[in-house]
Structure 1
């Protein structure tokens, strides 16, 4: 059956239920004359009168009553199903894939997802821990996490974390044998725990800034790791100096297990941002996640 016939039957059902061309026309948002012509055309195609018309009322004939009993419940079922589809749309669902380094995955994403996922059981999130600055478009990932200064200009970025600071730390046992460095350059005389990141093509140079003066120091030492946990544990064991986000070290510093040095050379810098392609059509699930992760201050 054509769409036109469906529309005609729906129009007939409304007229028969309302028992008025005037009320039915208003409900269907059409003119009374157009609606009357639609019903007349239906009767002519079927070869039978469906409505009895008087100057004051409209009522279904026996054939009209039979047709109404047949089609009206079907249209009600369709309307109910469409309403159910709208309900599904209002309860976002889908899988979102995010690539992020170990630190933002643990300190930002994990906490943020825990806040909103319980309210949206239809949303699934996959976190891919990646230490490189991967191409999310080429990798088929929905979004990535980077420091604000690392987000490409052609990406949309939403801030999801506060400003950050780095910390250089060592154990009391280490400093019992070595003098504390007073400048970043003096780190070259220390046993430093190196960081290997694929993005930087090798060992990461420790970055410092003071009064607008930036310094990068390539340190040396007996240990090289590509994650934070091993660097922290090695520093606690007195095996060298470690360079890491300060939030991982603050509790140990406060409790005396680690000693911080070069603090005046570790200035704050823009924190983590969720980024995604500007041409990406954001699904309701993705939009809700971005809003839930968005940083709104302390």
Structure 2
């Protein structure tokens, strides 16, 4: 059975149409995007799902991607070209770089950058190599911000550096169609001699704080002791004062009772002389208790006067 020329042409035409249709079909995965150029100029960005482009006229524009791979124990940058743009959040873990701080200390800093492609068209056309541009900008900004700080402040200012880097990366990322979600400083490696000096400085600082605390404790103890001694002296003085007052009141009461005893009209001078003489005689045995020999002036007239007062008191009032 021979095919007619017309039927053969129709079959060939249908086959070409099928090939043309199949060739133009493009399936884009979720979280991916494809930039399409028509005759060398931007045409559209394919969304996830089934898309159709004109074969041989519409072509996807490739994007350069820079990644690091471990080759021979070293991290080596490898640049590849991909037709599909990954719109998921991506981490860029760039290797450590040397940074000189404000006090001229060279440290090695390793950072990580998290970003996400928001506008695939800008990511393709605004920069020749998106990942490389982001990495170089991050390293430059990192050196600039860390170079303004001294080494001691560097360790406590990680969050401040991260925030400043994110602001700088956002400004450039908006132009490149990229959103920088987070910037993190992973490691800060300092030279061994600097680390040893910092360790000694920390030990000296801890010793200084211990001395300050010890001195403060001793000062507080001395103040408390002085306050206690002061309070004790005050209490002793108040006790002596009250004892003297009570003694004076007792003597006064004794004099008044002697004057009024038996309704006798006694002269006050005799009663006072009697009491003084009695106190003087009671004191004499206790004078030499604290020593073997005691020298004191002996006034016979005073003793005799006291005895005379006692005698006069015992005789009673004059009639």
TM-score (norm 2): 0.23
Q: Which has the higher contact order (CA 8 A, sep 6+)?
A: 1
TM-score (norm 1): 0.24
Instruction: Pick the structure with more helix per residue.
Output: 2
Tell me which structure has the larger Cα radius of gyration.
2
